[in-house]
Amino acid sequence: MKRQTIALVAHDNRKKDLIEWVEFNKASLLNHKLVCTGTTGRMVEAALLQNRSKHEPKPDITLLKSGPLGGDQQLGALICEGKVDLLIFLWDPMQPQPHDVDVKALLRISSLYNIPTATNRSTADFIISSTLFGTDYEPQVKSFSEYLGRNVEI
């Protein structure tokens, strides 16, 4: 099994859903590196440490800033650098977010770099239960050489 880096993010009204999902998938998630934004990361860490047996690996979690304080942008940068294998981002489509432009930018970057992205719990379930999960799967990323080499007039 390949150790992957999984980004976990949830808006306030979806944090409970994400924590339930993390607890249900604890055995699988403990075999991977996790990167989380702010409060979500602290909650994920607490959930993974709760009732931890001596035989379970300690969670490998990197905590970024809170989303509205730049965490979404930090995560986007990690995706651009090829340091994230998949994104579980339970966002709240019914609640306006003060950092909505950052949320859209993060979802745009995950699509641009073609990383598997779940924006709801059902899709997260499909991803973690896929035969490709934990493998050496390399998503095809479009070449941007034409875009980078375009003529720009000043």
* Residues marked as catalytic: 72
Indicate if the alpha-carbon torsion angle 114, 117, 119, 125 is positive or negative. Answer: positive
